[in-house]
Structure 1
Amino acid sequence: MTTLSWIDLVERNATEFGELVAGIDPYLPELPAFFDHRGDGSWIEDYVTFMLELLKGQVGFVKFQSAYFEACGLRGLTALSAGIAQAKANGMAVILDAKRGDIGSTAAAYARAYLTPASAGGSGDFEVDCLTVAPFMGPDTLEPFVDCSRSYGKGLFVLCRTSNPGAGWLQDKVAGNRLISEHVADLIANIGPPQEGAQRLSAIGAVIGATAVHEGRRLRQLMPRSIILAPGLGAQGADAATIGAMRGQFDGDLLLPVSRGLSAVVDRNLDADAYRNLVLERIATFKLLSTRRSGLARTSA
């Protein structure tokens, strides 16, 4: 079976399913109580399986937030590995939101853990199509991840201008007459695998918060071929009508992750059927918002 590259997956799945990225952030206090009916910690496996079965055929992208799985210990890591395998079997493009970044051999170990196939020396337990990484220790810390992108057709999302309230403390600082986020955008634009054609997306993308629309519009100009992962739609309250400012000229160059906005509930007494219907309604709503925004953006381009 031929394994598709990250860019092949993006081009195929964005066309078929749209740009919504379903986030899997297992946090029991925000989920219906029926997942924990056994009370033995198995809820996380049940939840991940439930969500991926529900998402199959609805969305083309899934993003696992590593921290929530790590917080559940070995059981959580087992659920993460199984979820990655299930999502791949569903044909989804799999993003691991782990925000890894470190020096030398440590960065190489992270790259081996998440981006290296078992046939090339990785464990295969946590191998994904795309990984979020942090660049703020310097360009050399990205090299092992970029090497995996070149060698194995993987994708990266490099933190550029994030959505958290304190992001501007560093990312909006001026250094050498330019913002830090602009320096990062230049780096992202210039480290794409050289074999990619000029008419295709780059495998090296950027995380730009959907709440930072003005910054995103400026940074898009510096990264015309990069895929932007734009968190903030949903629980963080970003306006879908304005996110199109970060769209470029390629299908799939703007992906919109929604996690709690799909899964979190206030009423934990919902049964499985009611919860399934609620999540499906939310998926349909976010996909409709994306379609309207996409149409507006392309009409005005």
Structure 2
Amino acid sequence: MVLQRYDQLYRKSSKTLNGIPPWKLFTFTFWGSPIGWQKFMAPQEPWSYNPLGGEWNLVPYQMPDNQFYLGYHLSECQNISYIAPSERKDQVLILANRSASFHRPYNMLDISRWPSIVKGIAGELINLSENEDGYPIPKGLVGLGPQDREAYSLLLRDSKASLGIGHPQLSTGPYASLCHGVPVILPFKSRRCPAHPPSTDWCGFTGNLNLHQHGAIASTLSEPFVYMVDVEERKDDLVATIWRAMKTPIEPIVFPEMTVEALTRRVEDYFHIDWKELAARRMLDRGWNEVVTQEFMYAWLEKHPVTPQIP
């Protein structure tokens, strides 16, 4: 397959006057563009989908390298009644939607640890993941399979804690948990990432490096809302941490940055920015005459050709 390059066909230039100006190219990405994320053969240095900079990445959380924080509106708790912690079931909801999440290379909790976790918790560990071929679900978990949104919210509301196991690295799950007043337990690897990394550190958004899970929420909250478990140095702490979270009631959290009003303000900010002027200043600072797409993106596309979408 001959790869038709954006630079040659679509980017506005002296040869393609009807092309798309680079400053108009934005990427909606849930993951941002983490350093060390090799999905697109990216270099071990700051990068973005648009060479002009991270500002052209529209992301769901506050991330490093000036990625544009657009975010989203969290509405998980609006139509679900609150249940006091004392009335909840002795259950922990596992934050995983795929059985592959329990296995390498995705997991941060080794599969061999589950028997001791199941034995150490005097309650049920609820698993809602899809059972995938070749990725068996650990024994002892209560498997209910994938749920629709309302059923999931009810299960979460009725739980005393939720538990992350390393994958996915980012999701809405911890925020939904806390808005129901359910504490969250998350894994991290202390040798390369702190328990509560700042939003300016990519180690909390580690892509496929499995250093931390849900660094966005861990950067702003600690116990009794968010409990961190070091899966490298203090492996015996997990069961005790789960118990502590289950026995420590919290009030539901309303995230001000996830209200409709806050999201609307950020969308308005996005449309009020003079992106053309910002791109011109960026090119001047870098001494560029034109914007050229990074070679590593083309190298990736040559190995993973994209099939055109026919409307």
Task: Give the TM interval when normalised to the shorter protein.
Answer: under 0.3
Scaled by the length of structure 2, the TM-score of the pair is 0.27
The structure with the largest strand share of the pair is 1
Scaled by the length of structure 1, the TM-score of the pair is 0.28
The structure with the largest helix share of the pair is 1
